Amino acid sequence: MRHCRRTTTVLTALAVAAGTLGAGTSVAATAPAPAPSFYDTPSTITGAPGDVIRAEPSSFYLDPLRVLPAPAAAERVMYVSTDRTGTKIAVTGTVLTPRAPWTGPGERPVVAYAVGTQGLGDQCAPSRQLDAGTEYEGTFITGLLARGYGITITDYQGLGTAGVHTYTSREVTGRAVLDSVRAAQRLPAANLPDHGPVALSGYSQGGGATAAAAEIAPTYSPELDLRGVVAGAVPADLGAVARNLDGSLYFSFLGYSLAGLSASYGVQLDGYLNARGRRVVAALEQQCTTDSIAAFPFVRSSSLTSDGRSATQLLATAPFRGIVADQRIGTRPPAVPVLVTHSLLDDVIPYAVGRNLATQWCGEGASVQMATNLAPTHVGGALGSYPASFAFLEARFAGVPAARGCTGL
């Protein structure tokens, strides 16, 4: 199914008109209603997870001036997924098909790439940022394209579509990743194999989504020909990550998690916050990552709560204690080989969190490679993980057997 909707010109004209109308100016009752946005959520969602609701041609630029297009055909897509409770939801994303023919063995592979933290504002959706040339993970995505892989990139629940983005909610982010693969395989315009080889990859928030998807794939999407998983800087233990973020430069990530998990579990967060806390969370829900880091560096969560408790203390009590426990990754071993990457010098997600995940999966019988690098900072750790990540994916798609047991631990 495909419904193409072009609305930019209409919306721009309406915005200009709204800005130039003076007070008391009226609009004729016969004025046409604005065309719906591609991101508008249908009132009724039917179909199976991965079914395409609508799609339209899009673009992927490597720079904000939009002069360097990526070597791929891009389709913006809305597809069916399921939320934490199993209710059907609409999720948007992007499917990229390299313009060069596939020259490797078998059919062209598809990589589901789960992006890292983008923010909570709808304008931060990766499908929007790819088109605008502002997606900061464009370099890695381009590297995947250069290797001939088809790529699908989910926007996750609520990032672009209705509602608050359910940031770090394990089950729903994993499902959004897996359903994006189904959507890519079912999208005629993408011209990708219906049942070809698949891999999952992601870093930071995307590492968590990828790791969650790897754990649930055997039961949620057993029909996918999953060959391997790359999970970088995985926030597998949110309690440990929260302790590291509180009062740091990256406090906003902790705020995103509180807002996203509250939305996912239907918790009214306002009752736990003072007036300043409510203002901060309201601002975070409208911002992208760079803006939030600049606006709220080194904030202490205890200054935002109604009773002066820190986020760590709050997360240790009901209902948050159970919610945090639900997000723990590492309880189910992936059924395919996994590469876990992490920098020893990560300043956002402690290295011990990623290593503990790899060790736990290994103890459960999974095939795990741990790739440790010494790149400074969380961002540097992503760059440092590129060589091992590309090599791992190339080997999986070439049919090279993964090393038995666990390595690098």
Q: Please state, in angstroms and rounded to a whole number, the distance separating the CA atoms of residues 386 and 142.
A: 12
Domain formed by 238-325, architecture: Orthogonal Bundle (1.10)
Residue ranges of domains in the chain? 52-237+331-407, 238-325
Q: Amino acid identity, residue 365?
A: G
In CATH, which of 3.40.50.2300, 3.40.50.300, 3.40.50.1820, 2.60.120.10 is domain 52-237+331-407? 3.40.50.1820
DSSP state of 41: P
- Model pLDDT, residue 155: 98
- Model pLDDT, residue 405: 86
Beta strands 88-98 and 52-58, pairing class = unpaired
Residue 13, number of CB atoms within 10 A of its CB: 11
Q: What mean pLDDT do residues 110-116 have?
A: 98
Give residue-wise pLDDT tens across range 172-184: 999 999 999 999 9
Q: At what angle do helices 238-245 and 351-363 cross, to 10 degrees?
A: 170
- Ranking 4-13, 80-89, 101-110, 383-392 by mean pLDDT, the lowest is 4-13
Bigger pLDDT: 226 vs 29: 226
Residue 38, number of CB atoms within 10 A of its CB: 23
Confidence of residue 36 (pLDDT cuts 50, 70, 90): low
Give residue-wise pLDDT tens across range 269-292: 999 999 999 999 999 999 999 999
Confidence of residue 35 (pLDDT cuts 50, 70, 90): low
pLDDT of 2 higher than 90: no
Place of tokens 């870093």: 203
Give residue-wise pLDDT tens across range 291-320: 999 999 999 999 999 999 999 999 999 999
For residue 383, CA distances in Å to 96, 107, 218, 405 come to 22, 29, 30, 26
Q: In terms of DSSP H, where are the helices of 187-250?
A: 205-220, 238-245
pTM: 0.90
Q: What mean pLDDT do residues 361-381 have?
A: 97
Place of tokens 């791992």: 392
Confidence of residue 404 (pLDDT cuts 50, 70, 90): confident
At residue 260, the 3 state secondary structure works out as: helix
Query: Which DSSP string corresponds to 174-209?
Result: HHHHHHHHHHHHH-GGG---SS-EEEEEEETHHHHH
Place of tokens 């969190």: 353
Q: What mean pLDDT do residues 79-107 have?
A: 96
- Model pLDDT, residue 375: 97
Kindly report the average pLDDT of the chain as a whole number: 91
